[in-house]
Structure 1
Amino acid sequence: MIECYGDEMSSASTPWPATAGEEHRWRSSLPPEALSRSAAERLRRPYTSAVVPRIADTDVRVPRATAAAAEEASRLIGDFDQEVGRNVAPFAAVLLRSESASSSQIENLTSGARQIALAEIGEDARANAQQIVGNVRAMTAAVNLSEGVDITGILTMHDALMSPAPYAGELRTEQVWIGGTAYSPHDAVFTPPHHDRLTDDLADLVAFARRTDVPALTHAAVAHAQFETIHPFVDGNGRTGRALIHALLRHRGLTRTVTVPVSAGLLVDTEGYFSALTAFRAGDAAPIVDALSAAAVLSVSNGRRLVADLLDARATWAANLTARADSAAWPLLDVVLRHPVLGTELVREQLGVTQPNARRAIDRLVDAGALVEVGGRRRSILWQAPQVLTALDEFAARAGRRRLGSPASVD
């Protein structure tokens, strides 16, 4: 259940269980001659890793102002989901890709819309774009968990994100840490739980995720922060954890048709986001709920502008398009919104038409000003939609970092 308390409660009595710690011996893989005397002495001392509290049955108590902000943000998310759901065919994919790109940008993985579109269709693209497309796959796996979150589903999200890395979809079997030095966790900003604890920690998190007595947005925020505290993977924890937010929002019915790009809102103040995760570990759940609520409000506003820009572009193309009513050019308009860089093979697959008819539909959209021809790899022919790419890049620019976060990534 959720309880609210007055805003004047002191931080000393904040009603959320804090992360504890336990000591472990560190076994360094470095040869002794590679270390200074002081470093070798430090590595002989034990390090402290986190012990996360059990939250499956913990009452979630937040200040009244936090609960009210989460309720208002939830209303905006629901309204946006209904609005865009009327045009779900093109915009579900657009918004999911936008959320994936924003979540990746929090981890300093940035790429332009054109590079991401190229990577999606298997064309040569930069490494960051390829990783962002992996995040699109992870987000897709997340929203498919509408029946409920379980450990298998979390592993599936991570596998979709990190594949073909050898550790994709596998819980870590080693200690990881955030910040400090590269060779030991002794000076880390945060050291997640020892890997021997991961199975029990995740089982408790899944039990919490199955609750229905906590309001959806608060539920997602707390589950996300607990996941980031557990940090169950060698890499990709931040992106998988933000995908988990969407799995819970879909499971709880707050979103039904689209992925609200909340990471675009978190990008506005990554310092505040990382600080909220730190506060959660110290025993205060309110800041992460506040951060997600504020991010949701910003992301809905930004998402509405993106959808409006794309609707305007589509309306202009439709007004300029001269084609028979049964021409493949008309349904191709929505395909272009989903795939702003495309070739004849993609059009043929999407519309179920022959290669010649796919090319004729593309030519109609070139004449309407929707597409322009560009080169592809191995001298293949591609076309791109400049208005869509511009709208996507402007969305990313509006979501760009206003305040830089901690150098210690949550991933």
Structure 2
Amino acid sequence: MATPSDSARISVDEASSETLDWAPRAPEMFSRAEVARQTGPYEATVTAPIAMWSPQVSSDDSADVEDATRQLVAFDQHARRALLTDDAALGPMTAILLRTESASSSQIEQLTTSAKQLALAEIDEGDKTNALTVIGNVRAMEAALALSDEISEDSILQMHAALMRHQPGFEHVAGLYRQEQVWIGPGDAGPRRAEFVAPHHGRVPGAMSDLIRFVERQDISVLVQVAVAHAQFETIHPFVDGNGRTGRALAQSILRNKGLVGSTAVPISAGLLVNTGRYFAALTDFRAGDAGPIVREFARASRIAASTGTRLVDDLVSQLDESRSLLAGVRADAAAWKVLPALVGQPAVTTKHLMNTLGLGEMAALRALDTLTDRGVLTETTGRGRNRVWQHRGIFDVLDGYAEQIRRMAARG
């Protein structure tokens, strides 16, 4: 289906600004020229209320949103059918889809890690800083879905707390609205030359209250509501750091809250990652009074999520089936069968991880790992006598292939 013309406007009240004064807080850290440039009046954004906004959407855009919505629902239903197997792989598959969405959301913020590094970080192996930071985003997504029954300021604060507890240097602001001015763009000493200056922190609580009232409405197309709520959240910029990742977690929470999807996180961030320039430009257009671009970005991202997500699910299920066939002849009550579906969600494991997550004793976990290794399902990758790590290379190949597919799509723009 063709995407509507980019000239189709969905009018929303334009953000305004207010003039405030700025003086660098630590002038001794900057040159005298920079201090002079960053001393004086600056313009801070003032968000327009959206709680009572009534969108006027063209027929083309409405059809586009409806088509994207149908594809998201179809993906969700397909994931449920594919995952509700006899050995209940739903939980592990949900985990890997959520982690994939978290990694894509983090990559938009230039926080890049591999599927392997992320899986190792989950079991306290490896030392990649980015992977540990992305784990925070996984926790934020988990909170977004767990708290989706009621979206409130408190649930959003909990999402942010889950995110920032894992980001060194920001633990003290986790789950707290900012108490300082923030901006995007040049100017470490101040906001006077920034590309975007967020609202003064004193305006954050009122703007967030208005946003929640908008999210609570039931009379707006869900995908339009998700896109606009996300754009408004990013304009409010309520936190010192982590706004983008929290805002995309909020999008997942709204999708679940409105009943559009129910099985897991859908990889919408992967769709946004395909063209981050267009995504950021759409946020700018929203602040200038046009919600059309951000609505269309979320429609595009939803279609990409449905298409690539369906293939990812199918490829992971194929890996599970192949591994199951390799275990043919193993006793039905052997612990290896209990471990197998868990490998979809966590394709790098240790004996300690299996003991903690599956309740296996140490000897049972070791026997299961020996069986899975002997049958070619797992590979022991450390060569150590102790603290060994086993990996399912087929699942990592699928996840790496998915990431490469998104990179190729991004290269095409």
TM-score by length of 2: 0.91
Name 1:93's counterpart in structure 2.
Answer: 95
Candidates 251, 255, 261, aligned match of 1:245? 251
Deviations 1:239-296 (A, max 9, x none): 0000000000000001111111100111110011001000000000111110011011
Name 1:344's counterpart in structure 2.
Answer: 351
Name 2:18's counterpart in structure 1.
Answer: 22
How much has 1:100 moved relative to structure 2? 0.2
Q: Any idea what SS the aligned residue of 1:47 has?
A: strand
Name 1:162's counterpart in structure 2.
Answer: 164
Identical-pair percentage: 43
Deviations 1:136-170 (A, max 9, x none): 00000001122221111111001100115211111
Matched, 1:65 2:71: no
Q: Any idea what SS the aligned residue of 1:61 has?
A: coil
Name 1:122's counterpart in structure 2.
Answer: 124
Q: Is the 8 A contact 2:282 2:293 kept in 1?
A: yes
How much has 1:27 moved relative to structure 2? 2.2
| Aligned CA distance change for structure 1 residues 60 and 401 (closer, same or farther; 3 Å) | farther
Matched, 1:274 2:274: no
Matched, 1:79 2:74: yes
**Whole-angstrom distance in 2 between the partners of 1:108 and 1:159:** 20
The amino acid across from 1:62 in the alignment is V
The amino acid across from 1:201 in the alignment is A
Q: Is the 8 A contact 1:267 1:401 kept in 2?
A: no
**Whole-angstrom distance in 2 between the partners of 1:100 and 1:8:** 29
The answer for unaligned runs of 5 or more in structure 2 is 84-89
Name 2:50's counterpart in structure 1.
Answer: 55
CA RMSD of aligned residues (A): 2.1
The amino acid across from 1:275 in the alignment is A
Report how many aligned residue pairs link the two structures.
396
Matched, 1:106 2:108: yes
How much has 1:307 moved relative to structure 2? 1.4
The answer for unaligned runs of 5 or more in structure 1 is 1-5, 405-411
Name 1:407's counterpart in structure 2.
Answer: none
Matched, 1:323 2:330: yes
**Whole-angstrom distance in 1 between the partners of 2:242 and 2:266:** 21
Deviations 1:152-194 (A, max 9, x none): 1111001100115211111111100011211111111110100
**Whole-angstrom distance in 1 between the partners of 2:275 and 2:6:** 25
The amino acid across from 2:11 in the alignment is P
The amino acid across from 1:294 in the alignment is R
How much has 1:67 moved relative to structure 2? 1.9
| Aligned CA distance change for structure 1 residues 362 and 44 (closer, same or farther; 3 Å) | closer
| Aligned CA distance change for structure 1 residues 136 and 31 (closer, same or farther; 3 Å) | closer
Matches within 5 A, 1:193-342: 193-321=199-327, 322-342=329-349
Q: Any idea what SS the aligned residue of 2:173 has?
A: coil
Q: Is the 8 A contact 2:99 2:138 kept in 1?
A: yes
**Whole-angstrom distance in 2 between the partners of 1:377 and 1:79:** 45
Q: Any idea what SS the aligned residue of 1:16 has?
A: coil
The amino acid across from 1:351 in the alignment is L
How much has 1:365 moved relative to structure 2? 1.4
How much has 1:9 moved relative to structure 2? 7.7
Name 1:144's counterpart in structure 2.
Answer: 146
| Aligned CA distance change for structure 1 residues 376 and 60 (closer, same or farther; 3 Å) | farther
